[in-house]
Structure 1
């Protein structure tokens, strides 16, 4: 018996606003890559006939809940944020970025901070890091960047020359490099670090009004970091130190918690703010856009089976729910495709059906077949849309919020290219002891670089951020700060 009131949903359970028309820039297009429903349909279809993560391979996870503590429904119609006291079950995966599945937890690396909220309107994934910025700001550079973090194809060893060559030729990386090389580059545990959505997203309220938003998870355990020598010792003695710590804390009833806050920017401010607010190598000043509390995340249950829950968990910033939308952030736009596609390759076309990934509400769509389809595959119900047989239908009220776009097609960079002010500000915020450790960490990391030209080019970036910063690193490497011609 068909249910004529069924809503058509994505594979993650969110309602579909329009299943007849792609999201385009105006009536003639071109089609926008942010149409995650289109990408999901096409990519799933490609795999209807029928390995370790490339990045973030080593990780640990836990279950918990998110509880709303502040009513922000004037900014978003997202159901799980709709009322104070509302609790939503969630799952989190922490990870390192560059190492393989058997690598050490205590290396200097960003930490992945990926949260899956099992809301009543489908799953919502916030796929972030423990840093508010990233190394690059356009997804087209991502495969090249990650190649530099992986193993040299000839020696099969990590390659500091490649790392610093890429960074020195990509000055937008300086803000994240400064963060990574600071004390926060090696957290004491997963519990003692903040988490960030990093990208700019859009919230939309019930009236259809939007704001730009950034997410900040503030650890209630306090920020603690590891001394480099202790971290190196632990990497040898207990390479699973962070995994063990998280499991034991929860097992012993010491449930870690984070306060979720957001920064909110009116849509029109994006055109006049002193940095491009969609550039993921930049932060918004909290003086301009102060943190507003949203709720609290508590981790209170360990996985029963690591493979089923942690290894097979799949996250994507394109796993969205009504009331939460994307921004023109070029890095985010690429991730909307790349993450879902990585999971279709790694776990399979039906990864959203696995218990750890499956939405808590009913999922209704016309995706069929594919490897490892383990439900009734839609049974004998109608398998295409539009149809005359009462199959699930789109709900126009759930269309993506519109975003005006203008311009001529082309490979165009961001308008704002100040890569030095914010890293310089970060350097000047550090205490003298923190600066000394930062400089020592960078000098140690750059010593193995084979070409002096790469070292000098990178020093010039540090110098442009802050003359003292560049000078101290040059001295540590036994080099002179490049001449003014190189610096200009």
Structure 2
């Protein structure tokens, strides 16, 4: 026998957040039949109040995303380069969580749009969580974090019109010639991946690896999709974005549900520390790639995604990633964008998710335990009990190891707002031109069409001309064809 509000599958009585049983979850308590609702109906008030607060603020950038758990497996010995324990032997496996995302769109934006894709990976290692925050492109638009907020403002909604404006986008890119390389990537065929499974990932930034002997190396990570590269043309993407805004999220989830686990072959490029000072361009410049002829990729791992989150809001949206989350054997480089992100990512999560975001299941260490003296604050779970909250102490609390996670970086000179010293071939246009010349004729035609379609929307001639001039500096043919295509569209 069942009563109203109860089923044969009932898991016990419905309760309030305080654990008290709820008598009626179908009808509010009123002053008589048909009368006004009473403020004493605490079940109703608690339910409405929680509903109003059940979504945390969306990310300012990378708001739109999807994620999955997986496994990273070491496939080659890299102990000559790093002492990181999760990379210590061939065959060793580490649990991971990977979040894909677009950059500019809001939480409800469509997936199939022209935008870089975030590729943020958390390794749950036995030495603590290691986060690797990257994109599906090996370069970025700017090389200094002080320009990042300005760049993002041009990609987001204009404060007057409330829409993304071509004038803002191309005004900034035209005045920031270092963006020419990334813009060529973005408006080429790989600017709209067919799915998250069919794109590569990159650390983009340069990091330090250091081995047990104290030797240091500069490295870049590459994640090469085993599913093959597949992209959408602009016309296909426009249709798909309207028909199925959740196309990429759905594709990832259903592939894992079918047992078609996506995987990536993981590689590194390794540069001896001594090479950096005399390399022909600044190796820490985020707008440039290291040519494979100079530093060939070395395969060392396999990443597989094999488990979907149970709750997108609790796991994907509340997941946090910070490039400051290192483990012994891995550390930062002098990359100025990376240096800014070491602060900015953690600060964003402290604002969005709270000071104790690391306590959430998706964020806390899975293969070890966090032991520190941070206490209290919003959503603190009381995990430390009555243990002392200061260090040093004589009560058996955790103590420092005196073993730095990475090797020190030599510095010299005086402080100041300085540009990075120029190397022999530092140039904002060479690599963009090289990328253009690598493209087939069909790829060039699509690139020109995509760029012209965007630049032609600019309202001021000087902004359009300045934007085209950057591509002309990258390659004369590139600029000439783009100028003609823009003029044709603008009449």
For 2:303 and 2:286, how far apart are their aligned partners in 1? 24
In structure 1, what is the equivalent of residue 484 of structure 2? 475
For 2:318 and 2:222, how far apart are their aligned partners in 1? 26
For 2:100 and 2:387, how far apart are their aligned partners in 1? 40
Q: Does residue 455 of the first structure (1) align with residue 464 of the second (2)?
A: yes
For 2:453 and 2:297, how far apart are their aligned partners in 1? 36
1:83 to 70, 83, 89: 89
Cα distance per residue 1:304-336 (max 9 Å; x no partner) = 110111000000111110000000000000000
In structure 2, what is the equivalent of residue 429 of structure 1? 438
Q: Does residue 215 of the first structure (1) align with residue 196 of the second (2)?
A: no
In structure 2, what is the equivalent of residue 128 of structure 1? 134
- The Cα of 1:397 is off from its aligned counterpart by 1.8
Q: Does residue 354 of the first structure (1) align with residue 363 of the second (2)?
A: no
In structure 2, what is the equivalent of residue 206 of structure 1? 212
Cα distance per residue 1:50-89 (max 9 Å; x no partner) = x100000000000110000001011000011100000000
- The Cα of 1:389 is off from its aligned counterpart by 2.1
In structure 2, what is the equivalent of residue 419 of structure 1? 428
In structure 2, what is the equivalent of residue 111 of structure 1? 117
- The Cα of 1:453 is off from its aligned counterpart by 0.5
For 2:403 and 2:118, how far apart are their aligned partners in 1? 33
For 2:219 and 2:165, how far apart are their aligned partners in 1? 37
In structure 2, what is the equivalent of residue 139 of structure 1? 145
Cα distance per residue 1:120-151 (max 9 Å; x no partner) = 00000111000000000000001000000000
In structure 2, what is the equivalent of residue 374 of structure 1? 381
2:253 to 232, 236, 247: 247
Alignment of 1:11-160 (within 5 A): 51-160=57-166
For 2:60 and 2:156, how far apart are their aligned partners in 1? 9
In structure 1, what is the equivalent of residue 19 of structure 2? none
Cα distance per residue 1:91-111 (max 9 Å; x no partner) = 000000000000000010000
- The Cα of 1:180 is off from its aligned counterpart by 0.2
Q: Alpha carbon RMSD of aligned pairs, Å? A: 0.9
- Which has the higher relative contact order, 1 or 2, with Cα contacts under 8 A spaced 6 or more apart? 1
Q: Between Structure 1 and Structure 2, whose CA radius of gyration is higher?
A: 2
For 1:243 and 1:381, how far apart are their aligned partners in 2? 43
For 2:459 and 2:393, how far apart are their aligned partners in 1? 64
In structure 2, what is the equivalent of residue 237 of structure 1? 243
Given that 2:327 and 2:405 are in contact with CA atoms closer than 8 Å, whether structure 1 keeps it comes out as no
1:309 to 315, 330, 338: 315
For 1:173 and 1:418, how far apart are their aligned partners in 2? 11
- The Cα of 1:375 is off from its aligned counterpart by 3.6
User: Structure 2 regions of 5+ residues with no counterpart?
Assistant: 1-56
Given that 2:321 and 2:346 are in contact with CA atoms closer than 8 Å, whether structure 1 keeps it comes out as yes
For 1:104 and 1:409, how far apart are their aligned partners in 2? 44
- The Cα of 1:399 is off from its aligned counterpart by 4.5
For 1:375 and 1:452, how far apart are their aligned partners in 2? 61
TM-score by length of 1: 0.87
For 2:266 and 2:194, how far apart are their aligned partners in 1? 21
1:442 to 451, 454, 466: 451
Q: Does residue 260 of the first structure (1) align with residue 266 of the second (2)?
A: yes
TM-score by length of 2: 0.86
In structure 1, what is the equivalent of residue 18 of structure 2? none
User: Structure 1 regions of 5+ residues with no counterpart?
Assistant: 1-50, 480-488
- The Cα of 1:436 is off from its aligned counterpart by 0.3
In structure 2, what is the equivalent of residue 40 of structure 1? none
Cα distance per residue 1:326-367 (max 9 Å; x no partner) = 000000000000000000000000011100000120111010
For 1:381 and 1:300, how far apart are their aligned partners in 2? 38
Total equivalences in the alignment:
428
- The Cα of 1:118 is off from its aligned counterpart by 0.3
- The Cα of 1:257 is off from its aligned counterpart by 0.3
Q: Does residue 299 of the first structure (1) align with residue 305 of the second (2)?
A: yes
In structure 1, what is the equivalent of residue 47 of structure 2? none
In structure 2, what is the equivalent of residue 11 of structure 1? none
Q: Secondary structure at the match of 1:224?
A: coil
Q: Does residue 282 of the first structure (1) align with residue 288 of the second (2)?
A: yes
Q: Secondary structure at the match of 1:189?
A: coil
Cα distance per residue 1:212-247 (max 9 Å; x no partner) = 000000000011100111100011110100000000
Q: Secondary structure at the match of 1:299?
A: strand
Q: Secondary structure at the match of 1:285?
A: coil
- The Cα of 1:400 is off from its aligned counterpart by 3.5
